[in-house]
Amino acid sequence: MDFALTEEQQAIVDVATQIFGDLCRPERLREVESGGDWFHEELWNELAKAGLLGICLPAEVGGQGLGFLEACLLLEQLGRVVAPVPLHPTLIAGLAIASLGSRELQSRWLPGVSDGSTVLTLALSEPVGDPREPVLGAVHEKDAWVLTGEKTVVPFGHLAAAVVVTATDSAGIARAFVVPTTSGGLNWERQDTFNHEPAFRLVFEGVVLPAGNELGGTAGAVGWIVDRAIIGLCAIAAGVSDAGMRLTASYVSERKQFGRAIGTFQAVGHRLADCFIDSEAIRLSMLLAGSRLAEGAEASKEVAVAKYWASLGGSRVGHAGLHLHGGTSIDLDYPIHRYFLWAKHLEFSLGAATAQLARLGAFLANEPVHAV
């Protein structure tokens, strides 16, 4: 498959690179993250002005009318600067509403996403289990759904106007819903995460939703959302790994020991070569899975492979960056430490490497064996 970018895609990357580069200097990011909201509002507004928040939303709601792959390219640029904005949950939740929601849901939530006035989030994770098999309960009563249970690590819940939630009904069918954050019966509890991104434990105590708030209305909606959420995380991981690797390469080219730059030492060179291989594997597997999802093709294996590389390869690149920076890496204000924190956070979000191997193993075990 040819992963060369089209002119339109390259223009998206160029615009995003300029915006992120101008507004995400390390000192500015530290200033933003020291605040309680952990939200770079200026950056968010500039992304909205450039039309990037509505990149994969229909034109009738103020979007650019592009697709999921273009959203991944934008998220990759976010990963390069590890910026504190709710871009991933808003893009994926917005795409889910645009693709699976009713016209009423689209007109209610998506124009605000496009112009930057509305933040959306995702509630996909639970204390245990596969995000494709949610434990949160959904009971159908007359013309409404009643949700009971809990979700964990819900990002940017303090800023969100609505949350896309997955649940399982009494017949064992997984379903997805749009829940306004002002709904009665919702309880939020702040959680700390590895990269300090604000996240919340969200408890549903008999939250009542109109039937029209369901997304898709089919058993495949949850898998559709989870797959795209995972590849969105892989796109961020591709940016995190590449930027962290390049920062480390610059450091070892300047740091001298025994009268030589440590980058000339064979062990250091080999370590960075391995980082390059891991970074390329993360990006290429993400682009393959993202391209298939954008085309509407079956991509279960590709998604698992991409998340495996984002988890394992991202962790290896993150650890190598700390190791090769030596004592400098323990300075919490130095950028390499932030890349490491983001790499570890992304490693475990929506399933780490072991979970992806188990999923791939199940796919292989279920495939029929053909005699030669």
At 230-246, the pLDDT tens digits run 999 999 999 999 999 99
Cα→Cα distances 337→40, 219, 309, 329, 342, Å: 19, 41, 21, 6, 9
At 253-266, the pLDDT tens digits run 999 999 999 999 99
pLDDT band, residue 292 (cuts 50/70/90): very high
Six-digit token string for 105: 């849901």
256 phi and psi, to 5 degrees? Answer: -110, 145
Which domains are assigned to the chain?
7-118 (1.10.540.10), 122-215 (2.40.110.10), 221-366 (1.20.140.10)
At 308-325, the pLDDT tens digits run 999 999 999 999 999 999
Return the amino acid letter for 119: V
Least Cα distance to 338 among 103, 95, 56, 80 occurs for 80
pLDDT of residue 3: 81
Cα→Cα distances 302→131, 289, 345, Å: 17, 5, 21
pLDDT band, residue 357 (cuts 50/70/90): very high
pLDDT band, residue 372 (cuts 50/70/90): low
* Angle 101-113-216 from CA coordinates, rounded to 5°: 10
CA distance 329 to 348: 22
pLDDT band, residue 285 (cuts 50/70/90): very high
Between helices 353-366 and 300-325, what is the axis angle to 10°? 150
Mean pLDDT of the chain: 95
At 200-213, the pLDDT tens digits run 999 999 999 999 99
Alpha carbon 149 to its chain's center: 23
Do residues 284 and 306 lie in contact, with contact meaning Cβ atoms separated by under 8 Å?
Answer: no
Return the amino acid letter for 102: S
CA distance 286 to 306: 5
- Percentage of the residues of the chain whose pLDDT score is greater than 70: 99
Return the amino acid letter for 263: G
Six-digit token string for 173: 């069918």
Quick check: 371 pLDDT over 70? no
Which stretch of DSSP H or E encloses residue 155? strand 144-155
Q: Helix, strand or coil for residue 216?
A: coil
Quick check: 330 pLDDT over 90? no
- Helix ranges (H only) for 200-352 are 221-254, 266-294, 300-325, 335-348
Percentages (nearest 5) of helix, strand, coil residues in the chain: 55, 15, 30
CA distance 230 to 245: 22
